[in-house]
Structure 1
Amino acid sequence: MSSIIVTGASAGIGLAIAERFARGGWQVGIIAREPQRLESAKRLLEAHGGKVIALCADVADPAALDAAADRVATELGGIDAWVNNAMSTVVARAGEITPEEYQRVTATTYLSQVYGTLAALRHMRSARRGTIIQISSGLAIRSAPLQAAYCGAKAAVTGFTDSLRAELIDEASPIALSVVYLPGVNTPQPGWSRNRSGHEQVIPDPLFDPRLCAEAVWATVEDPEREVWVGRTTAMMALGQRIAPAYSDRKAAEMVTAQLGAPMEPREGNLDEAVTGPALIDGDAKDRVIDTRSEFFTSRHRDILKMTATGGLLGLGALAGLGLSRGLARLLR
């Protein structure tokens, strides 16, 4: 029976991913910090009939992740897939985020993926099999205001993963390495994050269901792709950043006010310590969620689109060149 480890899996996207694999008959190891919520998540997943291991650990601690990997590999007979999902953020303008907060967001959102990947590789290399999924964000491609620490950390994930992927290719390794870029998703996280903006955080529309993200991860483990973009907005952000970055800057500036909801006092949130709360997949904005479970695009789709667009441009160029040639020939008669 196949086994998977998911970090940050006691709520939100991580729990949705773990639930999808438990429902699919996989054995599941879940990692999170808050022990009561972790146990609740474990019971929820066990209802699907498979074996579940709940591991209480801070993903910024590489030794803790190594120990978690060893336990799951021993008790579940190996690690077939590992999903680096855990993250944290500080909602504030870049100059109002302290150096210590930048370090902590980097540790939990970027370095946690490095540590998790290395822990998974120790077991997958010897088994000569496995898939590692990095959960990233459209904000790694097109950064947003009030999210400087988070955007920087997610962008770093791409750099690390691309470097490692090249090394795995050089080794002729069978291990698959994928990055899944997510859109705005309705999870409890906005109510748990450290927030110094003076307002409740609002994830702008369109807002997607965490289960769409879980389906994208399921599909990627079943048929690994280099990259996956979940939701139309992620694909649009990637396209806009590629062809019109200055325009994308101006559009991103509009997200300052779009992210600010009702006034609130500053909140310490879950940056340094876990906050209490139920093991919920969904956040409080269910009324705004787009009803789709299949809107994601892979790097294979992108490459096909590029070839189609290139072919079209070459065809137009050939037609234009032919017209120019005929015009010159007429002038020279």
Structure 2
Amino acid sequence: MTLRTRSKPRTVVITGASAGIGRACARAFAADRNRLVLVARGPAGLHAATTEAEKAGSPVCAILADVADHRACEAVAARAEAEFGPVDVWVNDAFVSVFAPFTEISADEFRRVTEVTYLGYVNATRAALHHMLPRDHGTIVQIGSAIAYRGIPLQSAYSGAKHALQGWHEALRCELLASGSGVRVTMVQLPAVNTPQFDWVLNRLRSRARPVAPVYRPEVAARAVRYAADHPNRREYWVGGSTTATLVANALVPGLLDRYLARTGIDAQQDEEPHRADTPDNLWTPADAARDRGAQGRFGDEARGRSAQLWASQHHGLLAAGGAGLLGVAAGTLARRR
């Protein structure tokens, strides 16, 4: 997919910008020399992301902040507007997670995942809307997941947060539509992505955590986010055939999918290599505080660089028209044969 370069730079805020998908998004938006406000907890990763964007020609305002703190989100929005003027696009990506059976996750840990992965989006969106609504302009892109529709074992805290995010996003979108607002919100539902998260989530499994195959490169996700920011009238975009298959299966045969994931989901999220109990995690403190982790994880050999489903999600109108055309041709052919 070739992306059109915009002639007019925008002010873009990205949370979770120091690594993984957020880092890839920073690179994608920097390609158009947008004015970037990069938000993260880790100083080393944030510094590296800032350096990359500035080398690409983007002015950058880097802010150390935890989105679980609503006051910090309000301060980010205020500083973004003061530095670069009105915020045009806000991308919510920051999250934390725990890989463990539900009974092995403490109440504090579960709350922390919820406060960052769900309420962090809520806090940041509220801060963005405070500035966007009065001028009736702006786009907010939420980074979602197939897990927003389909919970999986060993990720109960993350599954719960993403489900909550989905319900809240739908309610907010309805409210904006009802008010006739020019502010747009959209969501990008992602498959498994090759990011560093699997090496820094809090892990209580016997082995190292891994994404459920197939795995995609973070640049695929970033292209989807950038496209969604340019085309925010769609309620959501699906990336990856696995996302589509999961969502369709969950809608049609959820009980069967429960049993399938119970049988395969636990082993599919673990490598053969044992997990070291002393491995640092980023639940309470950033894992990239002293060392940059970049956008890529350790699964580069298997990560896919393209998604046919993303193209289909972006061109559903064209596909529908093509399908209708084919049906028309078929109907005409049958009529002539009669």
Question: TM-score, normalised on structure 1?
Answer: 0.89
| Unaligned runs of at least 5 residues, structure 2 | 1-8, 328-338
Residue 244 (1) aligns with residue 253 (2): yes
Partner of 1:271: 283
- Secondary structure of 2:182 counterpart: coil
Confirm or deny: 8 A CA contact 2:101 2:155 kept in the other structure.
yes
Query: 1:113-136 CA distances to partner (integer Å, 9 max, x unpaired)?
Result: 000110110111122111001101
Confirm or deny: 8 A CA contact 1:132 1:177 kept in the other structure.
yes
1:177 deviates by: 0.6
- Secondary structure of 1:179 counterpart: strand
Amino acid at match of 1:93: P
Amino acid at match of 2:276: E
Residue 289 (1) aligns with residue 297 (2): no
Confirm or deny: 8 A CA contact 2:190 2:243 kept in the other structure.
yes
Partner of 1:121: 129
Once structures 1 and 2 are overlaid, which stretch shifts more, 293-302 or 143-152? 293-302
1:295 deviates by: 4.1
1:36 deviates by: 2.1
1:100 deviates by: 0.7
Q: Distance in 1 between matches of 2:44 and 2:268?
A: 34
What are the residue-to-residue correspondences of 1:72-151 with 2, within 5 Å? 72-151=80-159
Confirm or deny: 8 A CA contact 2:241 2:307 kept in the other structure.
no
Amino acid at match of 1:231: G
RMSD: 2.4
Amino acid at match of 1:239: V
Partner of 2:332: none
Partner of 2:335: none
Partner of 1:228: 237
Confirm or deny: 8 A CA contact 2:144 2:189 kept in the other structure.
yes
Q: Distance in 2 between matches of 1:25 and 1:299?
A: 24
Confirm or deny: 8 A CA contact 1:211 1:293 kept in the other structure.
no
Amino acid at match of 2:266: V
| Unaligned runs of at least 5 residues, structure 1 | 313-333
The structure number with the bigger radius of gyration is 1
What are the residue-to-residue correspondences of 1:1-333 with 2, within 5 Å? 1-224=9-232, 225-253=234-262, 254-261=264-271, 262-266=273-277, 267=279, 269-276=281-288, 277-292=291-306, 295-296=309-310, 297-298=312-313, 301=316
Q: Distance in 2 between matches of 1:290 and 1:229?
A: 15
1:91 deviates by: 0.3
Q: Distance in 1 between matches of 2:195 and 2:64?
A: 21
Confirm or deny: 8 A CA contact 1:187 1:283 kept in the other structure.
yes
Q: Distance in 1 between matches of 2:182 and 2:160?
A: 30
1:198 deviates by: 2.0
- Secondary structure of 1:285 counterpart: coil
Confirm or deny: 8 A CA contact 1:216 1:294 kept in the other structure.
no
Query: 1:7-50 CA distances to partner (integer Å, 9 max, x unpaired)?
Result: 00001100101110110221111100011221111001111112
Once structures 1 and 2 are overlaid, which stretch shifts more, 64-73 or 248-257? 248-257
- Secondary structure of 1:271 counterpart: coil
Confirm or deny: 8 A CA contact 1:106 1:149 kept in the other structure.
yes
Query: 1:214-271 CA distances to partner (integer Å, 9 max, x unpaired)?
Result: 1101111111111111111111111000111111112222110111111123345100
- Secondary structure of 2:224 counterpart: helix
1:300 deviates by: 7.3
Q: Distance in 2 between matches of 1:226 and 1:63?
A: 28
Q: Distance in 2 between matches of 1:38 and 1:113?
A: 19
- Secondary structure of 1:163 counterpart: helix
Q: Distance in 1 between matches of 2:297 and 2:164?
A: 27
1:204 deviates by: 2.2
Q: Distance in 1 between matches of 2:249 and 2:314?
A: 17
Q: Distance in 1 between matches of 2:19 and 2:251?
A: 33
Amino acid at match of 1:195: N
Amino acid at match of 1:263: P
Once structures 1 and 2 are overlaid, which stretch shifts more, 242-251 or 54-63? 242-251
